[in-house]
Amino acid sequence: MLGWALAFFIIAIVAGLFGFLGIASALAGIAKILFVVFLVLFVISLIFGRRRA
């Protein structure tokens, strides 16, 4: 049980550092862009997949 507590403590420290340094906001912006790109690619693949059948 102490091992799990220590592991979650280290994860919390790393997440806190990312949050305070502003890295989290930059990564969130990149994630939004990638989400839109893959959503568009998914819709395009659906359209072209239906044309073949």
Confidence of residue 52 (pLDDT cuts 50, 70, 90): low
Domain limits, the chain = 2-52
22's torsion region: left (phi>0), alpha (psi -120 to 50) or beta? left
22 phi, psi to nearest 5 deg:
85, 5
* CA-angle at 41, arms to 28 and 30, nearest 5°: 15
Task: Tell which wins on pLDDT, 20 or 33.
Answer: 33
Q: Rounded to two decimals, what is the model's pTM?
A: 0.56
Cβ atoms of 24 and 18 within 8 Å: the answer is: yes
pLDDT in tens, 27-38: 888 889 999 999
